[in-house]
Structure 1
């Protein structure tokens, strides 16, 4: 029987979805979904503390400039748990513990656990990561079934967008400005612009598969967005609402919001910013938002409509 450790929230979600939850023996401090894994030991801790977006950006920039990890790893407990598989990532050193730190610890373990690294930058690669994890932990059949179901739901989202374009000769996709971070401004990156396009919108400031990078206020305003989505990475609804209120103190954002037809806040800890199965729910939510299709809104999706 495998002994699985997840050091990445999306990995924990995949492990549980494909049938590997009984074999999980530990998790990262960010692995909070599903709720049934919250009793497991926690092996990581963030060095940064959230105050405001601007202050966290400063903390992160200082740490990265000094070449230090943003997370602490409980090495002693990790050794004691004797894992056979550790699932982690090498995509973003800001989001989760870095791969090098994990490899350094694993190299000193006997027997040495298998390290599965997930680095998806597109929806196709997110789907492939389900297969990768399923194969690594002995749940290939469950992974194949889940992947097929999720890909079927993605296709239904694409079908709605295609039907809207085909049935409306003057169809214009809505321009979306997706805030992945608010101060400084980081627009959506990697898979999120692709999801917006799948749902029938466009994200002019950053395209599919491209990492999120800092942009200017002028660049944001120039896109003249129809839809504003505020979904800061790692922030729950209460913190997201607070960041929105801080943004509304700035004239440039008030102007942007007044011209937009839709303004929405989304829990950025749970949705969009994790490269896992619930990105399909996020795509369905986008279909609901962009096409006024309440039948596509996932049950319990954590969001709030401002406008």
Structure 2
């Protein structure tokens, strides 16, 4: 039996839920306060249903140690697993790039005995990513042939809105694969808190608001809060594109749907509707 601490796809949502966040969403600023206070006191941000975990007797637990804010911390999982009999194998996934995300598919496939399936799926995803690169290259080549200078669209990706955390890890890389540029934070770098001035200085043409863990309704409210700020309204007026994305489902999880997110970026940056994944949870503001 394999116990995955996740909620996607919908076909697994009938399975036992083993973790629960201790924070409660009100506003971005208030959640940041809750998180900061808990971490300063050395507290975990999640509760783990230890009794149910032991009852399930998993042979494999898949978890992560990349972000203590996003999921149960690895130390807690290891501590509980050490008390279980038999002890489960812990598979920790900490990718910071698209290639490492795809490597994770192989890691999980090897752990659960589906090596060949994992190889096939990875190859399919690599092919889809390559098609995204090809579109970006076609746009560059077309500009060159016309004797025009190619300037990739400047993107600001809000991973959190108050305080501001721009997209990090794989997100800037995905933007570049799709033919854009994320000046405030480059590929492979952690998301970090930045100033309003640093955001405004990027002079973005494309604004993507995709707060980690928030659905589209909550994201819309955060966008409305941003629009109450003079600096953001001015930036939004200059931008050619503004998009809201469900940050609970897309971009912020290091899983297979990052391929869909890259395809969506191709659609958004180059007006290629055929690349938009079916049912992608987003809303165009501008």
- TM-score for the superposition, normalised by structure 1: 0.91
Unaligned runs of 5+ in 1: 8-30
Measured after TM superposition, the shift of residue 33 of structure 1 is: 1.3
- Hey, what's the Cα distance between the residues in 2 that align with 1:76 and 1:288? 46
Q: Which residue of 1 aligns with 2:265?
A: 286
Q: Is 1:166 the equivalent of 2:141?
A: yes
Corresponding residue for residue 22 of structure 1: none
- Matches of residues 115-134 of structure 1 in structure 2 within 5 Å? 115-134=90-109
Paired residue secondary structure (2:181): coil
Q: CA deviation at 1:172?
A: 0.8
Whole-Å separation in 2 of the counterparts to 1:55 and 1:269 = 18
SS at match of 2:237: helix
Following the alignment from structure 1 to structure 2, what is the Cα–Cα distance between the partners of residues 285 and 264? 11
CA distance in 1, matches of 2:65, 2:203: 34
- C-alpha deviation, 1:178, in angstroms: 0.2
> How far 1:80 sits from its partner (Å)?
1.0
Are 1:4 and 2:5 counterparts?
no
* TM-score in terms of structure 2 length: 0.98
Q: Deviations over 1:17-64 (max 9, x none)?
A: xxxxxxxxxxxxxx2211111111111111000000000000000011
SS in structure 2 opposite 1:180?
A: strand
Show the counterpart of 1:26: none
Shift of 1:147: 0.5
| Match of residue 195 from structure 2 | 216
For 1:44-83, list aligned pairs within 5 A.
44-83=19-58
- 1:102-117 equivalence runs, <5 A: 102-117=77-92
- Which residue does the alignment assign to 1:271? 250
Q: Distance in 2 between matches of 1:176 and 1:121?
A: 19
Deviations 1:79-104 (A, max 9, x none): 11111000000100000000000000
Answering whether residue 156 of structure 2 is matched by residue 177 of structure 1, we say yes
Equivalent residue in structure 1 for 2:73, among 98, 104, 107:
98
Deviations 1:101-140 (A, max 9, x none): 0000000111100000000000000000000000000111
In structure 2, the partner of 1:188 is 167
Partner of 1:155: 130
| Aligned: 1:203 with 2:209 | no
Distance in 1 between the 2:2 and 2:162 partners?
Answer: 37
> How many pairs are equivalent?
282
**What is the match of residue 40 of structure 1?**
15
CA distance in 2, matches of 1:134, 1:94: 26
Counterpart pick for 1:250 among 229, 246, 259: 229
Unaligned runs of 5+ in 2: none
Which stretches of structure 1, 4 residues or more, deviate above 2 A after TM superposition?
none
Aligned-partner Cα distance in 2 for 1:33–1:90:
19
